Amino acid sequence: MNAALQGSVDEAGLTALAAALAPALREGGVVHLRGDLGAGKTTFARALLRALGVGQRVKSPTYSLIESYQVAERALHHLDLYRIADPGELEWLGLPDLADPAALLLIEWPERGGAALPPPDLIVRLDHAGARRDFSLTAASARGARWVEQHLGGAPRT
């Protein structure tokens, strides 16, 4: 599974990247968002959720750990596990719900969730590069590979 896409974007470019990827993610799946504090994980998730039709304000789940939305019967969950001290705390979040294959999970700081988390279909990696961000999208399942391929096929290149 080596479908991958990488590049460098300013904030508008990162938002456009997330919006272009969004249609492919309508079927549900698991996206891990990796990168340091301030790398742009929430910016990316917010743009993705908006493009999927979340009309309300998209708050960062920094304190709540999870923010959930519903669009056309589909559950969208945005998690930020930075504050999790131990993966056992995830049970408190109601992880069984998160196992629904039709749900879309966007997970910041997945490394804090350990093995309790569903495995990713796609890994989004963001790194500071001055005012820009280096990004990579790496497929981690057949589904994720399809998303990256659809994205490569349908989106304007930067």
Ligand X SMILES: Nc1ncnc2c1ncn2[C@@H]1O[C@H](COP(=O)(O)OP(=O)(O)OP(=O)(O)O)[C@@H](O)[C@H]1O
Binding site for ligand X (CB under 6 A): 9-11, 14, 35, 37-43, 62, 80, 82, 108, 131-133
User: Quick one: 29 or 35, whose CB is closer to ligand X?
Assistant: 35
3-state secondary structure of 130: coil
Query: Residue 5: CB partners within 8 Å, gap ≥ 6?
Result: 136, 137, 148, 151, 152
111 binds, among Mg ion, ligand X, none (CB under 5 to 8 A by kind): none
46 binds Mg ion (CB under 5 A): no
Residue 4 vs 65, nearer CB to Mg ion? 65
**Of positions 31, 35, 42, 49, contacts Mg ion by CB under 5 A:** 42
b/e string for 20-55 if b means 16 or more Cβ within 10 A? bbbebbbebbbbbbbbeeebbbbbbbbbbbbbbebe
Sites for Mg ion among residues 107-136 (CB under 5 A)? 108
